[in-house]
Amino acid sequence: MKNLKFYFLGLILSLASTAGAQSFDKGTKVASLGIGIGSSLGSFDYSTQIPGISLMYEQGIAQAGNVGVIGLGGYVGFKSFSWETKSGTIESKSKWNYTIIGLRGALHFTGIDKENLDLYGGVMASYNLLNYSYEDNTGFNSGNSGNFGNSAGLTLFAGARYYFSDNLAGFAELGYGVSYLNLGLAVKF
């Protein structure tokens, strides 16, 4: 996992030195990597959890009159929880892995007077996958493993990117994915 973080950081920094203007226009391509805060996934306190991680891609596809630019792209998010219990000599562990795969459409507002600020809002249609596993030390595992609760989803989101250079930005986004609030870096290329 540590090597993967360094790979993405290196990719972001190398792309950051190759781009052009700071606004979101038709034809603009942006990739974002974020870490989530807060989540509607799960319903009780967990022993351990991995924060929501998301990867997004978006491309400007059409001008929306004087209002802004329409972007279309994809979303992949992952979040994991586990719960460990011990009762006498029996130890058990349950694990929930959530993966969300989505298609996003957004309107980027071009009437903003600040050139390095990209404000946007949109909608995402997604498929939400839940993989559950259970294990214990008794050797009589009940077989409660597999995909449970997979479902389609539809959500609204709103966000902002602030460009530190021509193509490297920090972003914050509110909405439903693997997290309520997503913070991270975005690279325009």
Enter the pTM of the model: 0.78
**Looking at the predicted structure, is the pLDDT value of residue 1 above 70?**
no
Does the pLDDT at position 70 exceed 60?
A: yes
How far is the CA of 28 from the CAs of 1, 71, 72, 182, in angstroms? 30, 9, 11, 21
Q: What is the C-alpha to C-alpha distance for residues 92 and 159, in angstroms, rounded to an integer?
A: 40
CA dist., res. 86 & res. 106, Å (int): 47
Q: Is the pLDDT of residue 43 over 60?
A: no
Whether residue 86 is predicted with pLDDT greater than 80 in this model: the reply is yes
Query: Which tens digit of pLDDT belongs to each residue from 132-152?
Result: 888 888 876 655 666 667 889
Instruction: Return left, alpha or beta for 2; rule: phi > 0 is left, psi -120 to 50 is alpha, else beta.
Output: alpha
Domains recognised in the chain with CATH numbers? 2-188 (2.40.160.20)
| Angle at alpha carbon of residue 135, lines to 153 and 142, rounded to 5° | 85
At residue 19, the 3 state secondary structure works out as: coil
